[in-house]
Amino acid sequence: MQTIFRGRHFISEQEWTREEIDTALEVSFDLKRRFATGEPHRLLPDKTVFMMFFEQSTRTRNSMEAGITQLGGHAHDLTPDKMQLSHGESAKDTAIILSRMGHAIACRNCFYGIGNEYLRELARWSTVPILNLQCDVYHPMQGLADLMVMQEKFGRDLRGLKVCISWAYATSHAKPVSVPQSQILLFTRYGMDVRVAAPKEFPLQQAIVEQAQQNARHGGRLTFTDDMDAGFEGAQIVIPKNWGGFAWFDKWEDSEAQKKEMKANLEKSKGWICDARRMKLADKHVKYMHALPADRGKEVTDEVIDGPHSIVYDEAENRLHTAKAVMALTMGGR
């Protein structure tokens, strides 16, 4: 077990060793037990985490704020309109000042081509941990919670587990690619047999795919299909979720022409929905997962998300316990 975490950034699990991720999971399980039994666990008394949200959030915002409260600390809930960011203050100045006032800076910035670079700039100047609450490339908090629920349902050894990560139709907004990208990077490191199903117009970033393929060389497997049914075939876990087609373009410029093309590509794939028929293609004990919020009636039918195979609420609850583990390790410890 690794024990030296204090001051470490958590921008991507890829930058943590397998041993470090295992330790984070062990702490998550311990904190979940303490939460269930009502055992106090004020591991971070009087510690402050600054939470910077450039986008809306339910699970991430509340898991972080409830988590730091239960650990004995306090969260400042910040949005650009509450800070000088709206007047152009630099990431450098923000990081230097906030890190002199508190003990961690947690940030969500999902703007494509901008978010991860912003977090890296914060990390360059901060003297406290930078915690990624989701960017345009990674969502490590979600990945850790997903891995935890998989271990709860299938045991700690996940080698050979057949997982389908599928694109699905949705209209609420063009969702980031960061969730499936964190999943393929992390799941392959744990030896899973990962199959990605998506229309050709909705690829993941090539550099991330190549890194995940490298990860798979240590016992995992990563394959791709443009057929949702083929993706579901025999899967023990299915994770059908929408993501935008940002990586379809050589360079994403957020222009009206690109948005129009992405919308046209989206409408060509209305049939990509997780329904009872597709669930029957999977293993009879298949588990349905989703990071939430799901576009009901588009990404998934009510019959599936509210049915016996769904573990979305267990998955969502684990966001609390894994967030607490990351904060306890990086803001406290040795």
- pLDDT tens digits, 185-200: 999 999 999 999 999 9
* Alpha carbon distance 102, 128 (integer Å): 8
At 258, which helix (H) or strand (E)?
A: helix 256-267
Q: What is the pLDDT of residues 236-279, one digit of tens each?
A: 999 999 999 999 998 888 899 999 999 999 999 999 999 999 99
**CATH fit for domain 13-139+319-331, picks 3.30.450.270, 3.40.50.1370, 3.10.129.10, 3.40.50.300:** 3.40.50.1370
CA nearest 299: which of 228, 215, 233?
A: 228
How does residue 87 score in pLDDT terms, banded at 50, 70 and 90? low
Tell me yes or no: is domain 142-315 CATH 3.40.50.1370.
yes
pLDDT at 292 over 70: yes
CB of 160 closer than 8 Å to CB of 187: no
pLDDT of residue 172: 85
At 85, is the pLDDT very low, low, confident or very high (cuts 50, 70, 90)?
low
The DSSP bridge partners found for residue 225 are: 197
Indicate the pTM of the whole model: 0.96
Indicate whether 86 pLDDT > 70.
Answer: no
pLDDT, residue 262, reads: 93
Q: Where in the chain is the domain with CATH 3.40.50.1370?
A: 13-139+319-331, 142-315
